[in-house]
Structure 1
Amino acid sequence: MKIVIFETEQWEAAACARLAGPHALACTPEPLRPDNVARFADAEVISPFVHSNLGAAVLARMPRLRLIATRSTGYDHVDLAYCREAAITVCNVPDYGDHTVAEHVFALLLALCRHIPEATERVRRGDVRARDLRGVELTGKTLGVIGAGRIGRRVLQIARGFGMRTLASDPSPDAAARKDPDFHAVSLPVLLAASDVISLHAPGGSGLRLSDPEFALMKTGALLINTARGGAVDPAALLRALSSGRLAGAGLDVIAEEQAFGDEAEIFRQDAQVDPARLRALLADHALVRLPNVLVTPHIAYNTQEAVDRIIETTLGNIEAYAAGAARNVVTAVTPASPSPGGPT
């Protein structure tokens, strides 16, 4: 098969070399984009990360494509409807980062509660006074998790270790969640009203989007942590909630216009007509990152050595399993039963 691995670092390209024996392999640090897709039009298998454009307009220019092995748990960046129509199998990495992402939730939360970034910067300037740096304890506070999958349940477990009360909201909890002693299920409005800290873990496609009505239900002075998806939060509504004092702070590992942030020309490259809603969201993102009570990290909640090792190993296994006619970790309904020895055509 002709395989292209996108968005690769040098170590990833070295790890992927084992595919080069039976297959034609290419690795590139570039994401897949409309302006470079022609160079990869003959690929039968691609493995992107989260910054590649996997919309129908791009995928339609890859007529031989039969497998997308995304190196992520989420797959809302993939046009699944098009993939089903075009008989393209999509595989993901379902469980690489439970501990990793959950730990980052508390890194953001503790940094907010104890003013760690500001305190560190003051000391670097030679200012060792503690004025305006009084924090709050986690013990006794209520943490509400929206989305009780593997990561959400791990967050609940860690929260209990801090002596926090825990709530969870999930419209379709699985059997593991229902058996979890830390899973105290409530409706979303109840969770929003009762929680001192709200942590988002709803998967792509869940329909979750916090906007003005949801922020109006929250406790005054609550904190919001989002390590899930930028689209789960209306950035303009979040900006209003923070500016009004409804929320005391936010820790964000993802933002609404993550791909365009820092490279605003991306919006103009992707769309024939610029979407005003995207421009408003991008403007709100820029305003958010400048607020002193907002911490933003660049989508690194997943990024530990242990997690990235699991990502690449699972992805390589997904590709090898597909080549052997036994696709695994499939998230589309279409799974070719047995690719030919020379690869699917």
Structure 2
Amino acid sequence: MKLLVYSAKNFEIPFLKRANKNNHKVTYLKEALDTDTAIKAVGFEAISIFSGDDASSIVLEKLWDMGVRHITIRSSGHNNISLKTAKSFGFKVANAPDYSPHAIAEHALALLLALNRKIVLADTQVHQYNFLQDDLMGFNLHGKTVGIIGTGRIGSIMAKIMHGFGCKILAHDLEPDYDLIELCDVTYTALDNVCNQSDIISLHIPLSYDNYYLINKNKLALMKQGTILINTARGAVVETDALIDALENKHLGGYCTDVYEKEKGIFFKDNSKDGIKDERLKKLLSYPNVLLTPHQAFVTKEALERIAEITFDNIDSWAEGKIGKNELGLELVNS
């Protein structure tokens, strides 16, 4: 099968090449999929896209007309593709679930520790030969109440990690994990209770219609003064304007994030020469209690290896005329 890989990053290409095992003819493209670059898929039966690519209805229509029939997503989240449109055309779509939940949960913890213990500031100071400790005070995680919103693959690991630190765990999820209740003494409760009782809140939910701006002005107002919010899910789970207000008013103690609401056109590229025009992002980056990384939580050797394996498992299944285990939207076909 001829496969075009959009948004191919230099660091992931070796993993993809190894996973392919020369079974398929693959072309790697640095550009993201959008209305302009869709034309590059002419002659390809399958494409692979990343979470920042645009697979909206208009793009899908172009791809279908060009002969593309299979789309494999190199991420667990798939809010960037219109599944209903894809299935109405007849596309086969699959994602890469469960590629390495540990990578994401560990990154969430790294963000929390770095922000709380002022690691970035301390590193900057000592490189300037400033060894004072005046502005480096943090707090112990032990004994704090941590709210986990979403206890699926990633959230459950985050709960176990924080339990290991000696934290009390509150959780909110539509489907409680009873193993977490037994193993980590997790207490499931309403979202409002998680917001107003937690010292630290970590988000581990997909972006959906119901979860869009889940953390909004009202939910932020419920949080304790000084709460630290962690977001390694999707940027639009948090309402950016309300977040900025909470930081500006010093109600929120800090924001650790690997994602941003308007990543498109900014993330996954070097903007150091031309800068950025997004004033809200500039504002967020101006706060000393905001720590933002460029959607890098998945960038571990283990995660990249697994994503590559799943990507070509999906392609292999389609090439053999099988329904892949990661195929999305089958319920839309049968409804």
TM-score (norm 1): 0.86
214-223 vs 130-139, greater mean Cα deviation: 130-139
Give the Cα–Cα distance (whole angstroms) in 1 for the partners of residues 81 and 316 of structure 2.
21
Q: Write the distance in 2 (CA, Å) between the matches of 1:121 and 1:10.
A: 29
Structure 2 SS opposite 1:68: strand
Q: Is the 8 A contact 2:196 2:224 kept in 1?
A: yes
Taking only the aligned residue pairs, the percentage that are identical comes to 35
CA distance in 2, matches of 1:239, 1:104: 23
Asked if residue 112 in structure 1 is aligned to residue 109 in structure 2, the reply is no
Cα distance, 1:41 vs structure 2: 3.2
* 8 Å CA contact retained: 2:111, 2:256: yes
- Other-structure match for 1:148: 151
CA distance in 2, matches of 1:206, 1:173: 21
> Unmatched 5+ residue regions in structure 2?
270-276
Partner of 1:49: 50
Residue pairs, 1:276-295, within 5 angstroms: 282-295=278-291
Which runs of structure 2 are paired with 1:212-291 in the superposition (5 Å)?
212-261=217-266, 282-291=278-287
Q: By how many angstroms is 1:288 displaced?
A: 0.4
User: The residue matched to 2:327 in structure 1 has which SS?
Assistant: coil
Q: Which amino acid aligns with 2:6?
A: F
1:56 and 1:223 map into 2 onto residues whose CA distance is: 37
C-alpha distance in structure 1 between counterparts of 2:297 and 2:21, whole Å: 31
1:120 & 1:103 partners in 2: Cα distance?
21
Q: How do 1:147-166 and structure 2 match up within 5 A?
A: 147-166=150-169
Could you tell which deviates more after superposition, 9-18 or 45-54?
9-18
Q: Which moved more, 1:173-182 or 1:218-227?
A: 173-182
Query: Any idea what the Cα deviations from partners look like across 1:181-206, whole Å, max 9, x if unmatched?
Result: 44421110010011000000011226
- Cα-to-partner distance string for 1:301-333 (whole Å, 9 max, x where unaligned): 111111111110111111101211222211211
Q: Which moved more, 1:216-225 or 1:326-335?
A: 326-335
- Find the aligned partners of 1:162 and 1:89 in 2 and give their Cα distance: 43
Q: CA deviation at 1:75?
A: 0.6
1:260 is matched by which residue type in structure 2? G
Query: Which among 308, 318, 325 is matched to residue 314 of structure 2?
Result: 318
Q: Does the CA contact (< 8 Å) of 2:173 and 2:188 recur in 1?
A: yes
User: 1:186-233, CA deviations, whole angstroms, 9 ceiling, x for partnerless residues?
Assistant: 110010011000000011226222111010100111000000000101
Secondary structure of residue in 2 paired with 1:322: helix
SS of aligned partner of 1:104? helix
Cα offset for 1:126? 1.5
Amino acid at match of 2:35: P
Aligned twin of 1:342: none
Runs of 5+ in structure 1 lacking a partner?
A: 265-278, 337-345
Contact 2:3/2:44 (<8 A) preserved: yes
**Matched position secondary structure for 1:284:** helix
Question: Which 10-residue stretch deviates more, 294-303 or 37-46?
Answer: 37-46
Change (3 A) 1:227 1:39: same
- C-alpha RMSD over aligned residues: 2.4
| 1:145 positional shift | 0.6
**CA distance in 1 between partners of 2:5 and 2:30 (Å):** 8
Q: Structure 1 177/76 Cα, relative in aligned 2: closer, same or farther at 3 Å?
A: farther
2:5 match: 5
What are the Cα deviations for residues 110-154 of structure 1, in whole angstroms up to 9, with x where unaligned? Answer: 111111111111111111111122111100100001111010000
Between 1:167-176 and 1:229-238, the stretch displaced more is: 167-176
The residue aligned with 2:330 is: 333
Contact 1:41-1:61 at 8 Å conserved across structures: no
TM-score (norm 2): 0.89
2-structure distance, mates of 1:229, 1:22:
34
* 8 Å CA contact retained: 2:267, 2:295: no
